[in-house]
């Protein structure tokens, strides 16, 4: 993929590619090696990289990038981080045959999700033999002998040590902004290094924009591509697309997958607005039963005053595709009754969406 993009850039007569580290020397000037480039408009798209937590700098570790270079199956893979990257690789290597231990500093995995979905996914992964160490404040790690690593952690005030053959750090990502010299351009960043931008991806300096993972507005492939759409729309003169139009959506690619659009139940309960809520277990859906994939459930939230869908969460077979139906209704501002009265194809998981919406009840607990 990278080679194809590079070939396309290098063969374009209207693009000049400079290979090297770019750094601002002023508001409108960037240095790359011996070159000094000046422009009235500058677009920063430097991406992000895996974050390495203190205490592990000198340990033999892998990231989500380098672990793909492995030529052998780890005997015992220790994963620091119980969120999306960590859980996806946990299941991958467990199914390859590795013993897998996931260390999560919080009381539950994927802490941004509702408790029931966190617990459900943990149970699914535990049923495959993946072990979890929760409330594990990982203090440090060290190399053990020539081939092993040791993780020293504090689990609820009790120190523990775990040894494994391989270590994966899945502790989030950080923007590649520290070497840009943004202070020389006067461009503002937040405390995590993300470049501050407005609804149209403008920084605080006229003519300088930031898009992709380095602006902290999504950190997904689909949000990065939408950033490009915003920039293209702005350049064309339409200036209609903006960041605030985006509805939060993403997927966790374990098996079965989990997908979410909009707010979750926990967020709705903290809101001053009134919501309706419904959920349905996958084991009650014919298609899931026919496929023998009955783990998981669907959940939907509807704003009571408007009848608009405010959020949906699906864990189960086809969740990453199914969430698109809810997302389309949300972008289209379609009243839930229209979707509730729709006739969906049989036999699909989607045909139970109308039934799900028919069971809406006030959200009060």
Q: 62-101: per-residue pLDDT in tens?
A: 999 999 999 999 999 999 999 999 999 999 999 999 999 9
What is the strand order of the sheet 249-252 is part of? 249-252, 258-262, 309-315, 297-303, 275-281, 361-362
Please give the CATH architecture assigned to the domain spanning 249-362: 2-Layer Sandwich (3.30)
Within the chain, which residue ranges are assigned CATH 3.50.50.60? 2-39+177-245, 66-172
Q: pLDDT tier at 125 (50, 70, 90 boundaries)?
A: very high
In whole numbers, what is the pLDDT of the chain averaged over residues? 94
| Residue in the structure block whose two tokens are 């999560």 | 104
- Count of C-beta atoms within a 10 Å radius of residue 77: 26
Residue 144 in this model has a pLDDT that exceeds 70: yes
Q: pLDDT tier at 123 (50, 70, 90 boundaries)?
A: very high
Give per-residue burial for 154-163: e unless 16+ CB within 10 Å, then b.
ebeeeeeebe
**Euclidean distance between CA atoms 86 and 63, whole angstroms:** 10
Mean pLDDT of the region 279-306:
93
**Helix-strand-coil split of the chain, %, nearest 5:** 30, 30, 40
Burial label, 242 (beta-carbon count in 10 A; 0-12, 13-18, 19+): middle
Cα dihedral sign for 50, 53, 58, 61? Answer: negative
Q: For residue 347, is the peptide bond before it cis, meaning its omega torsion is within 30 degrees of 0?
A: yes
The H or E element that residue 117 is part of is helix 115-126
Mean pLDDT of the region 122-138:
94
Best CA proximity match to 259, nearest among 349, 155, 359, 128: 349
What pLDDT was estimated at residue 274? Answer: 96
What would the two tokens of residue 166 be?
């391989």
Task: Tell whether domain 66-172 is in CATH 3.50.50.60.
Answer: yes
> What is the fold, at CATH topology level, of the domain defined by 2-39+177-245?
FAD/NAD(P)-binding domain (3.50.50)
Q: pLDDT tier at 285 (50, 70, 90 boundaries)?
A: confident
**Euclidean distance between CA atoms 199 and 290, whole angstroms:** 46
What pLDDT was estimated at residue 219? Answer: 87
8 Å CB contact between 250 and 88? no
Within the chain, which residue ranges are assigned CATH 3.30.390.30? 249-362
Q: 105-109, 113-117, 143-147, 342-346 — which is least confidently predicted?
A: 143-147
What pLDDT was estimated at residue 365? Answer: 63
Q: pLDDT tier at 146 (50, 70, 90 boundaries)?
A: confident
What pLDDT was estimated at residue 137? Answer: 85
For 326-347, write each residue's pLDDT tens digit: 999 999 999 999 999 999 999 9
**Euclidean distance between CA atoms 75 and 167, whole angstroms:** 11
Residue 268 in this model has a pLDDT that exceeds 90: yes
3-state secondary structure (DSSP) of residue 330: helix
- Count of C-beta atoms within a 10 Å radius of residue 65: 9
What pLDDT was estimated at residue 88? Answer: 98
């Amino acid at each position: 993929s990278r080679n194809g993009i590079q070939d396309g850039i290098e063969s374009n007569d209207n693009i000049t590619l400079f290979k090297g580290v770019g750094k601002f020397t002023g508001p409108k000037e960037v240095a790359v090696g011996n070159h000094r480039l000046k422009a009235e408009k500058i677009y920063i798209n430097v991406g992000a990289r895996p974050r390495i937590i203190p205490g592990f700098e000198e340990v033999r570790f892998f990231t989500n990038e380098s672990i793909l270079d492995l030529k052998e199956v780890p005997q015992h893979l220790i994963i620091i981080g119980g969120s999306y990257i960590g859980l996806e690789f946990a299941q991958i290597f467990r199914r390859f045959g590795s013993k897998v231990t996931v260390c999560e500093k919080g009381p539950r995995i994927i802490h941004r999700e509702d408790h029931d979905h966190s617990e459900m996914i943990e149970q699914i992964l535990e049923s495959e033999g993946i072990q979890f160490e929760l409330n594990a404040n990982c203090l440090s790690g060290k190399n053990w002998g020539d081939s092993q690593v040791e993780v020293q952690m504090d689990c609820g005030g009790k120190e523990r040590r775990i040894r494994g053959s391989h270590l994966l750090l899945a502790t989030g990502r950080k923007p590649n902004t520290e070497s840009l010299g943004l202070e020389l351009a006067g461009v503002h960043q937040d405390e995590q290094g993300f470049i501050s931008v407005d609804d149209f991806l403008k920084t605080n300096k006229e003519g300088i924009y930031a898009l992709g993972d380095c602006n902290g507005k999504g950190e997904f492939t689909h949000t990065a591509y939408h950033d490009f759409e915003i920039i293209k729309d702005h350049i064309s003169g339409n200036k209609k697309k903006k960041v605030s139009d985006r509805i939060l959506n993403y997927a966790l690619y374990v098996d079965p997958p989990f997908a979410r659009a909009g707010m979750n139940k926990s967020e709705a309960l903290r809101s001053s607005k009134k919501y309706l809520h419904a959920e349905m277990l996958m084991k009650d859906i014919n298609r899931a039963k026919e496929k023998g994939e009955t783990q998981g459930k669907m959940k939907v939230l509807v704003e009571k005053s408007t009848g608009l869908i405010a959020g949906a969460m699906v864990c189960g077979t086809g969740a990453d595709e199914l969430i698109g139906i809810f997302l389309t209704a949300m972008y289209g501002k379609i009243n839930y009754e229209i979707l509730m009265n729709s006739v969906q194809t049989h036999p699909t998981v989607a045909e139970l969406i109308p039934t799900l919406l028919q069971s809406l009840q006030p959200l009060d607990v």
